[in-house]
């Protein structure tokens, strides 16, 4: 067996505001796995590394890729425990290869067009007018779950956006989730969370920055608003670390990004551990191209959850790949009459 990789720069249609600055482009890495006797048939996967967030986004990344290539050629295992995006991309490539190299990572009614995934409408960070315009567009498109990224503009303006939704829609009509990306402090977190709870907000992701387990545990105990952990999950590679964190902090929810936590198998372990403890969960994409998003959506469809998921639609980028995924209002769907266009993939800069 052989493995090749192709770095690929995704370019945003519009600058995307995040807690880590404004993005105009984002690097990703595609993997293809094949038998050297039939190189035209290959399994595809995406190692969606996220600079500034992925634990392996440093000089080690490409050295580990080359080690992985050599070991696959020799039939040896590679320790990818601290390289979650590579774990995720390799898992996808193996699944695609083992199932016929036709872009079906998981067989389910979803890939036959008989099932769809309800997603939340994500409102990117921006100034008040930009966020208001994006919010209005999502509501008009029929989204019943809205996720607001907060922490980029004045707190009073962010509350005004939430109030704007509540003045028009009850919590039963529109669910509001907010993601602080660690933007609150222990001085202001509780009063701000109380204000959001008064406005009928569903939950808040990562109110304070990760790495403060004592403070996070305290917030989860006293918060009037359900707390969902996101970045807090990063770097928890072993089952023991996951159990210790869940038992200690005891959040209401966890938010799972497979490319940041080691792929679908690792995410499945998180789900099992959470459900054993009565902790809720949902899945979120992390700025993958349509290749990784397609695989992610197919896996999520097998979970048969009714809670809105945080899956992007691939519409962010100018140079994305053509896949059978498409969006119909708040429903992410799969067109079984189309297939993953591998001609685009063959032309990439594959490296050995």
- List residues with catalytic annotation: 149, 257
Residue 106 to residues 68, 103, 294: CA-CA distances in angstroms?
24, 9, 10
Phi-psi category of 118—alpha, beta or left, where left has phi over 0 and alpha has psi -120 to 50?
A: beta
Structural contact between residues 165 and 174, judged by C-beta atoms closer than 8 angstroms: yes
The half-sphere exposure of 219 on its side-chain side, counting CA atoms within 13 A, is: 32
Give the Cα separation of 305 and 269 in Å (integer): 16
Following CA atoms 62, 290, 137, 157 in sequence, which dihedral angle do they give, to the nearest 10 degrees?
-20
Q: How many CA atoms lie within 13 A of 320 on its CB side?
A: 23
- Tell me the C-alpha distance between 205 and 195, whole Å: 15
CA 132 to chain CA centroid, Å, is: 24
Both tokens assigned to 168: 């028009």
Exposed, middle or buried by CB within 10 Å (0-12, 13-18, 19+), for 349?
exposed
């Amino acid at each position: 067996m052989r493995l090749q990789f192709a770095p690929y720069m995704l370019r945003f249609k519009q600058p995307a505001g995040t807690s880590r600055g404004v993005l105009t482009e984002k690097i990703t890495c595609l993997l293809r796995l094949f038998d050297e006797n039939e190189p035209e048939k290959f399994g595809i996967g995406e190692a969606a590394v996220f600079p500034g967030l992925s634990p392996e986004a440093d000089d080690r990344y490409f050295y580990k890729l080359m080690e992985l290539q050599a070991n696959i050629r020799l039939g040896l295992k590679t320790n990818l425990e601290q390289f979650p995006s590579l774990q995720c991309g390799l898992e996808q490539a193996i699944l695609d290869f083992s199932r016929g190299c036709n872009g079906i990572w998981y067989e389910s009614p979803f890939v036959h067009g008989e099932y769809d995934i309800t997603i939340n409408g994500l409102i990117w960070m921006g100034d008040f007018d930009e966020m208001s315009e994006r919010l209005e567009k999502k509501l008009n498109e029929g989204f019943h779950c809205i996720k607001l990224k907060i922490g980029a503009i004045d707190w009073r303006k962010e509350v005004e956006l939430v109030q704007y939704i509540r003045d028009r829609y009850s919590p039963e009509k529109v669910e509001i989730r907010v993601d602080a990306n660690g933007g609150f402090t222990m001085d202001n977190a509780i009063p701000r969370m109380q204000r959001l709870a008064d406005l009928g907000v569903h939950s808040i992701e990562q109110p304070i920055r990760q790495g403060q387990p004592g403070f996070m545990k305290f917030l989860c105990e006293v918060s009037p608003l359900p707390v969902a952990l996101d970045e807090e999950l990063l770097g928890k590679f072993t089952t023991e670390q996951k159990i210790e964190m869940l038992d200690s902090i005891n959040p209401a929810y966890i938010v799972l990004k497979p490319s940041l936590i080691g792929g679908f198998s690792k995410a499945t372990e998180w789900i099992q551990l959470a459900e054993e403890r009565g902790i809720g969960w949902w899945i979120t994409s992390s700025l993958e191209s349509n290749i990784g998003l397609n695989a992610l959506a197919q896996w999520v469809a097998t979970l048969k959850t009714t809670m809105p998921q945080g899956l992007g639609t691939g519409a962010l980028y100018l140079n994305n790949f053509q896949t059978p995924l498409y969006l119909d209002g708040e429903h992410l769907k799969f067109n079984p009459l189309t297939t993953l266009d591998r001609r685009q993939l063959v032309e990439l800069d594959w490296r050995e």
